[in-house]
Chain A
Amino acid sequence: MTIISKTKSTIILAFIIGSFTMLYCSLILNQNIWTDEAFTIELTRQNGLLEIIRQTAIDVHPPLYYLIVKIFISLFGSSFQVYKLVSILPMLLTMLLSMTHIRPWFGAARAVLFLIFLNAIPCVMEYSVQIRMYSWCIFFITLAGLSTYGVYTQGTFRQYCILTLAALCACYTHNFAMISAVFLYILLGIALIFQKKTVPVRWLLSGAVVSAGFLPWLPVLLRQTGSRVGNYWIEPVTMKTIFGYFSDLFGSRLPYTAVMFGILLILAVFFFKDTRREERFVALLAIVPLLTVLTGILVSVLITPFFIARYLLPCMGLIALFLAVSFGGALQRRASFMLLSAFLAVMAANAYYTNFLLEYDSTHTSELLRYLEAAMEEDDLILYNHQEYGFIYECYFDSEKLCFLDDMDFEAAYHQIWYFDSCVSPWLPDDVLQEHGLAKEYIATLGIEQNDFILYRIYRK
């Protein structure tokens, strides 16, 4: 293919990065969150840095992401958009790796392909705008993966430092990102031993630094894992769930999307023989997600179900890199390169549209908030009967105005009550209302998150 100038490629890459960043930003202008995001908000709004570390030690995930969020909301305020921007930032950083690492090492065409592949993988766009740690994991693992390539081909001290730091951050962001980081080190070690015919000291040192750095959290991790044995929420792993991982990550609302990505991956494996010798190291990086999923399955089968498809998200940057390097080497003609780019651009548009619907059109949250903003008065209360959702409601409403049905004192001072009836136990019998001289009026069926409820207005007769 024609080699384009550095300036031209910079403009093209900057344009693609800018466009995708704008798309990501357009997905966060809403008030939509789900349970795990509410957990992040609750944990970071109410606690200081030390308390966050203490609380995450009780939960299952390491603390780094929550600490980053805490720093950001302390600086920029705690609106939902700030939370969501914290997730977009690492996507921007991951995309910038196409300029800083991929273009110099693999060429501009592959840098372009990396960007489009990364954003066309359906699950990436979905999780990168959520108030969770997955986009940070993608950044840390992609950076660590690229650094292993840098170490393998150049072996500079700087590359080792970046690798060490990225791997350590990955370990402190998600447990399965840690597993991916461990495999990156193992595969790098094997490659270096084959290359240099001796055990590389710097590699050992870097691994030792990461291990020592993670050591303070290791007892917590072991305790967390131990306490979840037999009582974790993840369903047992069956053959069906294993086959489902691929479609969970690569499937979309368009039928056969996962099949098309499957074909691309098979072709990429087939074409890898066309790449330069040192580039074949990237094929090793593509084994990392495979080894991670195998570990997840093994842990789930032998100990307790601990693995779900989205825990592979940290490796999506590596998969995009593998596909980009392979196809970048194989596509000799502009026509096929343009066709692949066009196909991926359409898939990215599809991922965007799917997520746009998910963010803006899948719940009644905005309708409810609009309605209550107009109708709710100073002394009104919000009453709910779905206890598990109480902490999600707290993300939207002042906790002093919220009351769970069992704790409600109907004799208390209030103007009127907005009752979120999720049609679960406990329920509110009409005679209780009558006893207190109250009546209820049906407003609409609305909801927050995927929890729909009937909204009633309760007023004094």
Chain B
Amino acid sequence: MKKIYCSAAVLSAAAILIFLYLAPQRIRTSIVSENKVSYEQPVPSVAHGFILSQQFVPRYEQLERIEVYINALSCSREEGYLDIRITDSSAEVLYENQLPLAALPEYGMTPVVKEVRLAAGNTYKLSIEAVDTLDDGPAISFFPNEIAANEEESGGGLTYAGQRLENAVLRASFCYSVPLPPVNYLAYCLFIVFLIFLCAERLFLHLKK
């Protein structure tokens, strides 16, 4: 029995080390940052050079997604796409995504950016433009009120067709993937050790028979 328990203890230690090595990448949680409540209105078009851009400062490195409110009910979704870009302060494109209009829902919060790693605390610009559309493209919502800004947009500027929209922010939510605080690993470690000791106990009982 002693030998089995010793083996279980060694196995547990190894399993915990492997777990602690893998956990920061594998066991993560999501943090969502949303706008505060406010009345909203849409920009009438993001096609034909009417680019809508919002400056933002991410709070964490790993952005799972950025969602914006898109209303595609009154535009043709047969052709064209939304060109989404994230640029840094030197205008270098760090992320680009072409979202076909046909893939858009009729309306609602829609993920336009997925899985991107940025430097927390730096300023970036999210730009949205509809390209090759049959009409003005979908309407995208903003809040004409800076009190609606989430932490990322706070202090940043919203620009539409080259013009700065004063006292306005994009209706957007920022979803991050962050590692769990290490104290939470205790639950997983205990579970792993329990399973290993349980197996050891069952093995002992089996051998005893």
Contact = CB atoms under 8 A, between A and B. Distances in A.
A109 to B, nearest CB: 15
Nearest to B145: A454
A340 B190 CA distance: 8
Given A342-B190, A350-B187, A452 B180 contact: no
A343 B187 CA distance: 6
B133 to A, nearest CB: 30
B190 A339 contact: yes
Contact of B39 (A332, A350, A427): A427
Contacts, number: 64
A287 to B, nearest CB: 24
A255 B191 CA distance: 13
Interface string B25-63: 001110000001111100000000000000000000000
Interface in A225-270: 253-257, 260, 263, 267
Interface string B185-200: 0111011011101100
A122 to B, nearest CB: 12
Given A256-B27, A331-B201, A442-B147, A343 B190 contact: yes
B205 interface: yes
Interface in A191-232: none
A453 B29 CA distance: 28
Contact of A350 (B5, B184, B195): B184
Interface residues of B, number: 24
Contacts of B180: 254-255
B205 A332 contact: yes
B37 A254 contact: no
B194 A343 contact: yes
Given A255-B29, A335-B197, A453 B37 contact: yes
Contacts of A336: 194, 197-198, 201
Contact of B28 (A255, A332, A427): A255
Contacts of A427: 39
A445 B147 contact: yes
Contacts of A346: 186-187, 190
A432 to B, nearest CB: 15
Q: Is the interface of B mostly helix, strand, loop or mixed?
A: helix
Contact of B201 (A333, A342, A343, A347): A333
Nearest to A340: B194
Interface string B163-190: 0000000000000000010001011101
A255 B188 CA distance: 10
A343 B205 contact: no
B112 to A, nearest CB: 23
A342 B188 CA distance: 11
Contacts of A257: 187
Q: Which of A255, A347, A442 has the most CB of B within 10 A?
A: A255
Interface string A425-461: 0010000000000000010010100001110000000
Contacts of B194: 336, 339-340, 342-343
A386 to B, nearest CB: 10
Nearest to B205: A332
A255 B37 CA distance: 29
A456 B139 CA distance: 30
B177 to A, nearest CB: 11
A423 interface: yes
Nearest to B195: A263
A148 B188 CA distance: 36
A339 B195 CA distance: 9
B191 A422 contact: no
A70 to B, nearest CB: 35
Contacts of A447: 37
Interface in A347-389: 347, 350
A452 B35 CA distance: 11
A260 B184 contact: no
A461 to B, nearest CB: 22
Contacts of B5: 335
A221 B190 CA distance: 46
A223 B147 CA distance: 48
B86 to A, nearest CB: 27
B181 to A, nearest CB: 10
Contacts of A335: 5, 197, 201
B186 A445 contact: no
A100 B5 CA distance: 36
A347 B184 CA distance: 10
A427 B201 CA distance: 67
B38 A347 contact: no
30 contacts: A253-B29, A254-B184, A254-B187, A255-B27, A255-B28, A255-B29, A256-B27, A330-B198, A331-B201, A332-B205, A333-B201, A335-B5, A336-B194, A336-B198, A336-B201, A339-B197, A342-B190, A343-B191, A346-B190, A347-B187, A422-B37, A423-B38, A423-B39, A423-B40, A427-B39, A445-B37, A447-B37, A453-B37, A454-B38, A454-B147
Interface of B: 5, 27-29, 36-40, 147, 180, 184, 186-188, 190-191, 193-195, 197-198, 201, 205
Given A254-B184, A454-B37, 14 more contacts: A253-B29, A254-B180, A256-B27, A330-B198, A333-B201, A335-B197, A336-B201, A340-B194, A342-B190, A422-B37, A423-B39, A447-B37, A452-B36, A454-B147
